[in-house]
Structure 1
Amino acid sequence: MERKCFLLVVVLAMFLVGCSGIGLPDTEAPITDEEKIENIINDFFQALNERNWDKAKSYCVIDSIWYDFVSDFERFVNENINDTYILEYSLSISRIYITGCTCKKIGIVFGEFFISLTKNGELQGFEEWGIITLDKSDNDWQLFSDELPTGLVI
């Protein structure tokens, strides 16, 4: 009798612990560098689309070609403030390659990247890239260049 009571208490205790949520905490898998890079690129182009210039610049290394691209684009839009703009972009990432040491990492993204600007119904121009290079500082990735780093062989 005592043994049956003990087993019943053990089974009930296990059941109640399982229902109370006590146990191993739910943990999410950490975001990989590849996922971070893809998110940064998407967020950058989305910020451009929303004309959130400061946010777009925050995804770029200061004085890089991407930072200057945002500054030039912002200036163009502000000089023609009464016009209607449509910014369209398309991103198709085929491969992300990360290289470097623990102190300095570079992410190279291969794919097809396209952006076009229409002003008052007329296509003003477009840009196409096949490579986007990012630099990792601390734990953050930032857009840096549209070329392979000098001397890098993949």
Structure 2
Amino acid sequence: MASLPNYRPKQLSLGPLETEILNIVWELGEATVKDVHDRILADPDRELAYASVTTVLRRLTNKGWLSYEKRGRTFFWQPMLTRGEAQVIKAHDRLQQFLAVGNPDVVAAFADSLDSASIEQLNAIAQRIAEARLAREEGK
């Protein structure tokens, strides 16, 4: 079971271009501005200034999604977490927002709207939660 990572970006919300560029860096593992720019321009219907890519990479760094290393005159950006870790953090954040509502009627209305596939998923989640609690109790 994936646990909540210790590291968390300063800001979770990302715009569409930030998300696209972060996905490119995840795919490449490490990327320069040129790597990202070339990947975007591989689509003949796209136009994006080189400087815009630089700006977005810096913004992702400021938000805590990327770090960089300078080698010679070139900056290489790396993700601060894996795509899977990011999914866990975002899911946890959404769950916390949902639970913050604190109104049992809202939660019940949500539960009533689930279809059978979702109920199967919830049962699997409930089983994993029970297993995690048992493991935690055994570790005490």
TM-score (norm 2): 0.22
TM-score (norm 1): 0.20
Task: Name the one with the larger helix percent.
Answer: 2
Task: Name the one with the larger strand percent.
Answer: 1
Of the two structures, which has the highest relative contact order with CA contacts closer than 8 Å and spacing of 6 or more? 2
Greater Cα radius of gyration, structure 1 or 2: 1
